[in-house]
Amino acid sequence: MEPSSLFVNTSRGPLVVEEDLVGILRAGKIKGAVLDVFNLEPLPADGEWRRSDGGTDGKSRVLVTPHIPFVEESVMKGFYEQQAGELLRWSREEALKNTMY
């Protein structure tokens, strides 16, 4: 990866060898990482990724999110509106719109 690269993993923690990524970040070989998933979840209280420097000694930037990247106001508003609509249809014994069989 180029030194200006930003590594992003929002997929599956085990896809990444975390020890290797920490080494790359500590060496400052890439600009940083954004991580939403990890090999071990929840993260241990004393884990490498919970350190204030993200385990990189300040050479690269690290952003850690709590495995909920999709949660923003507009998404949650739509979700709750959809669920309220389904409950209303259910209470009226109407056909539901969002069913899986």
Supply 37's token pair. 């998933």
Residues 33 and 55 in one domain: yes
pLDDT band at 54 (very low <50, low <70, confident <90, very high): low
Selecting among 26, 61, 67, 89, the annotated active-site residue is 67
Predicted TM-score (pTM) of the model is 0.63
Residues 55 and 11 in one domain: yes
Selecting among 12, 50, 51, 81, the annotated active-site residue is 12
**Catalytic status, residue 67:** yes
Supply 27's token pair. 């060496």
**How many CB atoms lie under 10 A from the CB of residue 26?**
16
Residues 54 and 12 in one domain: yes
CA 30 to chain CA centroid, Å, is 20
Structural domains of the chain, count: 2
Domain enclosing residue 85, as ranges:
70-101
Mean pLDDT of 79-83: 90
Mean pLDDT of 13-36: 91
pLDDT at 71 over 80: no
Q: Is 52:15 a contact under the CB 8 Å cutoff?
A: no
**How many CB atoms lie under 10 A from the CB of residue 50?**
12
**Catalytic status, residue 26:** no
Q: Any residues with CB less than 8 A from the CB of 19 and at least 6 apart, and which?
A: none
**79 or 17: which carries more pLDDT confidence?**
17
